[in-house]
């Protein structure tokens, strides 16, 4: 019962002991409490109860009972780090037991051999136990033994054998009520999915196991270890480190198993190394090595030593001693049959290469390279990385490029099995070394064209195919709705000057975790050849006028690849680190210029722009010609306001994450019908004052008696299905109350609106009161014209005579907004924007019912062909993986959006309104987004606030 209903079993055992039972029954009760404490509580208490159970079994003169308790005690002693005593208890247990009981003892000893990493002994004991358990028709223990044997097979890399045993065990578990064991079976299937390379299935199964354990109220430290392994493989090392450290704290707090603590420390060490925290990795690995050695767990100790060596290398401690240490670790892992052996050989070879020991390097790399043809994707990539380093050492650029191509092909196939864009982006980190090796080789031997090809090979690859659409999962949809409602309540509390209740914030974080977790479960499409980048095709599409500037970073220096006029030229610019620092200074300057009164900083910001140009473009700036320019920056330069650079300031300028994505945007056709959607979210300082003007420009009009309210003709509904129930929606032609608000704002100075800002929104400039000199903002049309005949439209619904869909007030709710955005030709969303650096796919636009997040956009069949986001931080991204960007704009580009105008910095809300109106004027005249934005900047007043506002906006894509 202790594994079917742990809490009830514990209570029953304690109740039995209070009734003065016989020694035999008391032995069983103490054993149950000992098992519960061993697996879910304090190991010291477990040992005390199990020793008492052993003594009571001896008093009862039951050899079978004593053998059974000795086996349980042996497991507890090993988990407490007392390996010698634990194995001695098993020797006694095997000698005391017979038949069925001895088979159970052998199964438990097999489990201990697995814990100790002695897989041969584990397989031998479980081989002896299974036939006896089957003969006794002991379904539960047979299923446990099969599960254990499968787990040992996985540790040895035998995935097919493991699958067979897991399948057989699962069929047996279905006939029992052993809920904890059933959860363990699901967890084991998750581990098998991971070992076979199916990360989404692994995450789904591990999450299911966690839900099952939670219902039983039992801690899940082994599950945490396995989940962290999967998270690391998915590129989520920082999360894995946080989960492992949290589990260590909990385990230490309850006095839990020493063996699990050592395993968690090993996982934390690996996660810290992958997360770029070598000192943390060094500290965790050193403790793990010490614990494993004390526990006589050589298999685990050897794995911990591998991570320790990797951490030392990462801290710059490469030496001949480390080559020898890594080689020794590789030999031991190979003797164990551990799948990690090629990693150790690759490490030894890499250190030897850095020291110039080419003969030693070749020997170790040749061993590692054997893994390139078989095994899971990441193991094959290890082999191809070793092969590439061998070719580099031999001076074969062709060999380097071939190995890198083969390795990145493996990574591409692996990425396409991942449905979530976040996992696809983060998984590219596994190919960073291969891509860098290929770039260096192509720079030396292939010229600018080849360097461009390899720069594109690993740049913004997540945009190469649309993410898998989230499934019609009712649990996911419910969680997203609940998250939106909670976020809206929290925002309302903040707006009232308070802070959301801790319970509300906790629930919001829980829902975020659930949404993200279920999204990560999505599987991708089957691997395919994809759309390979073709330099010739790019040059043909650029023609003689357009220049594409792709920035490649090699060994910390920016190389400019200038494409156009049928050729690719390479120029060397400055250091990436210096450019990043200068870009941060520019961002700080733009934030300050959003406040009136900072005019004196304008020359400083312009000078910083000139320095950025020198660092990023170098001599290429003099060869840009006079036509349009497309800039393709690396991910770490995504916050550069490119229009501030002197050579680009007066140009038609667009930015693209890659040349491939620019080509796809050029080839994307606008949807038929030319439908426009204008959205005005709540709480804007300007009230989204451009929306009424744009609505009139595109064909909708106000009623003459009230310049703010929208008139819905009698009988016209809110969409294809007719009227929507609610206030003012009776279909009788009255005004819709939710929209009956005119944006009237007192002027300050000469026609200057009062633009009060709020934190986190498009007018955010430090939460201060901002006034923009010279900016005229009016809710009415610029010329006060009466509505055109027949131009009245449905609030929130498309006008059947060609007018736009306007969503504002209560109509600007996420489900309705998404429905209208799907397949639109043009969307303009004036709403508070929030960027989440900690979780970029929860970056949002604030609607009437809460945040519209990136996960919502990914549900669209086709995002708007053109989309304008006059909101702060909408062009901010998180740089992840090899050279990937996660954020709102990059979520839209693979979904059918060909062009986006968005903002890289906080701007003055009032100054943004005339910029937006001028931008749409250009679009109405048939210009592209980049052309219209260039002309809109030129039309603004010359003061510092308006100049900074213009520079903060960027056109992405090619529409």
Residues facing 805 on adjacent strands: 677
Residue 741 confidence (pLDDT)? 29
Residue 853 confidence (pLDDT)? 85
Q: Is the pLDDT of residue 727 over 50?
A: no
Query: Helices 909-924 & 690-697, crossing angle to 10 degrees?
Result: 10
For residues 288 and 259, give the distance between their C-alpha atoms in angstroms, rounded to a whole number: 10
- Confidence band of 720 (pLDDT split at 50, 70, 90): very low
Residue 420 confidence (pLDDT)? 66
Q: Which segment, 173-187, 683-697, 916-930, is predicted with the most confidence on average?
A: 916-930
For residues 479 and 515, give the distance between their C-alpha atoms in angstroms, rounded to a whole number: 6
Angle at 322 between CA 321 and CA 324, to 5 degrees: 65
Residue 469 confidence (pLDDT)? 63
Give Dmax (Cα) for the chain. 104
Neighbours of 591 (CB within 10 A): 19
Q: Is the pLDDT of residue 427 over 60?
A: yes
3-state secondary structure of 325: helix
Task: Give the residue with greater pLDDT, 318 vs 62.
Answer: 62
Residue 105 confidence (pLDDT)? 96
Residue 797 confidence (pLDDT)? 38
Q: For the ranges 33-47, 80-94, 190-204, 732-746, which has the lowest average pLDDT?
A: 732-746
Q: For the ranges 228-242, 766-780, 808-822, which has the lowest average pLDDT?
A: 766-780
- Average pLDDT, integer, range 115-131: 94
129-to-100, 125, 146, 155, 454 alpha-carbon distances in Å: 9, 6, 10, 20, 56
Residue 778 confidence (pLDDT)? 30
331-to-155, 352, 374, 386, 879 alpha-carbon distances in Å: 17, 16, 20, 17, 37
Kindly list the strands in the beta sheet with 844-847, ordered across the sheet, starting from the edge strand earlier in the chain.
833-834, 844-847, 850-853
Residue 836 confidence (pLDDT)? 76
For residues 923 and 939, give the distance between their C-alpha atoms in angstroms, rounded to a whole number: 14
**DSSP conformation class of 408:** H
Q: Which of 320, 269, 253, 266 is nearest to 292 (CA)?
A: 266
Mean pLDDT of the chain: 82
pLDDT in tens, 740-792: 323 333 333 333 333 333 333 333 333 333 323 333 233 323 333 323 323 33
Q: Is the pLDDT of residue 728 over 80?
A: no
Handedness of CA 201, 202, 206, 209 (dihedral sign): positive
Q: What is the dihedral of CA 290, 295, 300, 302, to 10 degrees?
A: 50
Residue 746 confidence (pLDDT)? 31
322-to-308, 313, 326, 327, 623 alpha-carbon distances in Å: 10, 8, 6, 8, 49
And the tokens for 668?
A: 């994307």
Residue 128 confidence (pLDDT)? 96
Residue 403 confidence (pLDDT)? 94
Residue 789 confidence (pLDDT)? 29
Q: Is the pLDDT of residue 275 over 50?
A: yes
Residue 422 confidence (pLDDT)? 65
pLDDT in tens, 279-289: 999 999 999 99
Residue 292 confidence (pLDDT)? 94
Residue 50 confidence (pLDDT)? 96
- Average pLDDT, integer, range 148-159: 89
Q: Is the pLDDT of residue 495 over 80?
A: no
Q: Is the pLDDT of residue 821 over 70?
A: yes
Q: For the ranges 166-180, 384-398, 568-582, 888-902, which has the lowest average pLDDT?
A: 888-902
Q: Give the whole-number percent of the chain exceeding pLDDT 70.
A: 84
For residues 825 and 820, give the distance between their C-alpha atoms in angstroms, rounded to a whole number: 11
Give the β-pairing of 653-655 and 899-903. Answer: unpaired
For residues 875 and 640, give the distance between their C-alpha atoms in angstroms, rounded to a whole number: 10
- Average pLDDT, integer, range 832-857: 82
Backbone angle region of 748, left / alpha / beta, with phi > 0 → left and psi within -120 to 50 → alpha: beta
And the tokens for 402?
A: 């071939």
Task: Give the residue with greater pLDDT, 726 vs 538.
Answer: 538
- Confidence band of 366 (pLDDT split at 50, 70, 90): very high
Cα end-to-end span (Å), the chain: 65
Q: Which pTM was predicted?
A: 0.73
Residue 463 confidence (pLDDT)? 57
Give the β-pairing of 826-830 and 676-680. Answer: parallel
**DSSP conformation class of 405:** H
Q: For the ranges 140-149, 224-233, 616-625, 855-864, which has the lowest average pLDDT?
A: 855-864
Q: Which residues contact 488 (CB under 8 A, 6 or more apart)?
A: 849, 850, 851
- Confidence band of 607 (pLDDT split at 50, 70, 90): very high
Q: Is the pLDDT of residue 812 over 70?
A: yes
Query: For the chain, what's the residue count?
Result: 959
- Average pLDDT, integer, range 796-803: 46
For residues 104 and 130, give the distance between their C-alpha atoms in angstroms, rounded to a whole number: 9
Residue 425 confidence (pLDDT)? 65
Residue 90 confidence (pLDDT)? 96
Q: For the ranges 344-358, 892-906, 941-955, which has the lowest average pLDDT?
A: 892-906
**Contact (CB, 8 A) for 367 and 330:** yes
Q: Is the pLDDT of residue 32 over 80?
A: yes
Q: For the ranges 29-43, 361-375, 765-779, which has the lowest average pLDDT?
A: 765-779
Q: Is the pLDDT of residue 796 over 50?
A: no
Q: For the ranges 209-213, 256-260, 635-639, which has the lowest average pLDDT?
A: 635-639
Residue 201 confidence (pLDDT)? 87
145-to-138, 257, 828 alpha-carbon distances in Å: 11, 22, 61
And the tokens for 930?
A: 């980049």
856-to-358, 679, 844, 859 alpha-carbon distances in Å: 53, 16, 9, 5
Residue 502 confidence (pLDDT)? 77
Residue 749 confidence (pLDDT)? 34
DSSP string, 35-104: HHHHHHS-HHHHHHHHHHHHHHHHHTT-HHHHHHHHHHHHHHHHHTT-HHHHHHHHHHHHHH--HHHHHH
């Amino acid at each position: 019962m202790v594994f079917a209903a742990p809490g009830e079993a514990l209570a029953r055992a304690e109740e039995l002991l209070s009734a003065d039972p016989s020694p035999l029954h008391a032995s069983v009760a103490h054993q149950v409490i000992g098992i519960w404490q061993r697996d879910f509580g304090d190991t010291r208490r477990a040992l005390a109860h199990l020793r008492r159970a052993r003594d009571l079994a001896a008093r009862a003169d039951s050899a079978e009972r004593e053998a059974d308790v000795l086996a349980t005690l042996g497991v507890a002693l090993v988990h407490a780090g007392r390996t010698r005593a634990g194995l001695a208890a098993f020797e006694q247990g095997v000698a005391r037991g017979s038949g069925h009981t001895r088979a159970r003892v052998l199964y438990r000893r097999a489990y201990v051999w697995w814990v100790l990493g002695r897989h041969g002994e584990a397989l031998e004991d479980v081989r002896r136990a299974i036939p006896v358990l089957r003969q006794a028709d002991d379904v539960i223990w047979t299923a446990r033994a099969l599960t254990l044997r499968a787990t040992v097979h996985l540790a040895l890399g035998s995935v097919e054998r493991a699958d067979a045993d897991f399948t057989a065990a699962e069929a047996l578990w279905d006939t029992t009520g052993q809920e904890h064991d059933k959860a363990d079976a699901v967890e084991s299937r998750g581990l098998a999915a991971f070992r076979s390379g199916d990360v989404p299935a692994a995450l789904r199964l591990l999450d299911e196991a966690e839900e099952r354990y939670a219902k039983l109220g039992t801690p899940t430290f082994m599950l945490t270890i396995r989940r962290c392994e999967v998270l690391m493989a998915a590129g989520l090392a920082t999360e894995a480190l946080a989960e492992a450290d949290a589990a260590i704290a909990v385990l230490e707090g309850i006095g839990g198993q020493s063996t699990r603590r050592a395993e968690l420390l090993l996982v934390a060490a690996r996660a810290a190394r992958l997360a770029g925290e070598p000192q943390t990795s060094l500290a965790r690995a050193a403790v793990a090595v010490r614990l494993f050695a004390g526990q006589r767990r050589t298999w685990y100790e050897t794995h911990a030593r591998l991570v320790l060596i990797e951490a030392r290398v990462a801290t710059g401690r490469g030496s001949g001693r480390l080559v020898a240490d890594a080689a020794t670790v590789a030999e031991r892992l190979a003797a164990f049959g551990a799948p990690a052996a090629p990693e150790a050989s690759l490490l030894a070879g890499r250190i030897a290469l850095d020291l110039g020991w080419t003969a030693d390097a070749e020997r170790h790399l040749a061993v590692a390279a054997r893994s390139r043809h078989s095994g899971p994707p990441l193991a094959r990539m290890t082999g191809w990385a070793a092969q590439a380093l061998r070719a580099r050492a031999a001076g074969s650029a062709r060999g380097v490029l071939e190995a890198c191509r083969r390795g990145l092909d493996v990574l591409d196939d692996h990425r396409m099995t991942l449905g979530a864009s976040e996992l696809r982006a983060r998984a590219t980190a596994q190919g960073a070394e291969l891509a860098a090796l290929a770039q260096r080789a192509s720079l030396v031997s292939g010229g600018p064209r080849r360097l461009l090809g390899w720069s594109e090979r690993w740049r913004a690859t997540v945009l190469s195919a649309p993410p898998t659409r989230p499934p019609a999962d009712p649990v996911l949809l419910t969680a997203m709705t609940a998250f939106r409602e909670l976020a809206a309540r929290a925002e309302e509390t903040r707006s009232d000057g308070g802070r959301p209740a801790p319970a509300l914030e906790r629930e919001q974080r829980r829902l975020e975790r659930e949404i993200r977790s279920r999204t990560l479960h999505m599987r991708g499409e089957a691997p395919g050849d994809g759309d390979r980048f073709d330099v010739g095709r790019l040059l043909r599409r650029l023609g003689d006028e357009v220049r594409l500037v792709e920035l490649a970073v090699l060994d910390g220096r920016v190389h400019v690849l200038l494409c156009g006029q049928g050729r690719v030229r390479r120029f060397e610019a400055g250091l990436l680190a210096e450019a990043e620092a200068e870009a941060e200074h520019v961002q700080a300057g733009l934030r300050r210029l959003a406040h009136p009164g900072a005019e004196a900083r304008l020359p400083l910001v312009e000078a910083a722009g000139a320095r950025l140009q020198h660092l990023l473009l170098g001599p290429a700036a003099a060869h840009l010609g006079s036509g349009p320019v497309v800039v393709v920056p690396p991910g770490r330069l995504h916050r550069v306001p490119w229009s501030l650079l002197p050579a680009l300031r007066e140009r038609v300028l667009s930015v693209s994450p890659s040349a491939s994505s620019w080509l796809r945007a050029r080839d994307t056709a606008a949807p038929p019908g030319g439908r426009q959607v204008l959205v005005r979210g709540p709480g804007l300082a300007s009230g989204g004052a451009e929306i009424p003007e744009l609505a009139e420009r595109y064909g909708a009009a106000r009623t003459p008696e009230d310049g703010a309210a929208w008139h819905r003709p009698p009988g016209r509904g809110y969409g294809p299905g007719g009227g929507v129930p609610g206030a003012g929606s009776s279909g009788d032609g009255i005004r819709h109350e939710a929209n009956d608000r005119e944006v009237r704002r007192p002027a300050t100075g000469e026609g200057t609106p009062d633009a009060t800002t709020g934190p986190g929104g498009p007018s955010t400039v430090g939460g201060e009161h901002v006034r923009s000199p010279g900016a005229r903002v009016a809710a009415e049309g610029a010329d006060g014209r009466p509505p055109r005949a027949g131009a009245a439209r449905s609030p929130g619904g498309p006008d059947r005579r060609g007018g736009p869909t306007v969503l504002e007030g209560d109509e600007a709710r996420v489900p309705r907004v998404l429905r209208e955005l799907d397949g639109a030709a043009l969307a303009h969303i004036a709403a508070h924007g929030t960027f989440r650096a900690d979780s970029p796919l929860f970056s949002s636009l604030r609607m009437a019912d809460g945040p519209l997040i990136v996960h919502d956009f990914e549900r669209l069949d086709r995002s708007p062909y053109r989309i304008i986001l006059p909101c702060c931080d909408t062009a901010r991204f998180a740089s992840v993986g090899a050279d990937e960007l996660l954020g709102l704009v990059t979520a839209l580009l693979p979904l059918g959006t060909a062009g986006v105008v968005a903002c890289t910095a906080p701007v003055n809300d009032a100054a943004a309104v005339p910029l937006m109106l001028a931008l749409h004027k250009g679009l109405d005249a048939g210009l592209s987004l980049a052309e219209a934005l260039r002309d809109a900047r030129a039309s603004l007043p010359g003061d510092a606030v308006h100049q900074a506002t213009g520079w903060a906006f960027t056109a992405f894509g090619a529409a």
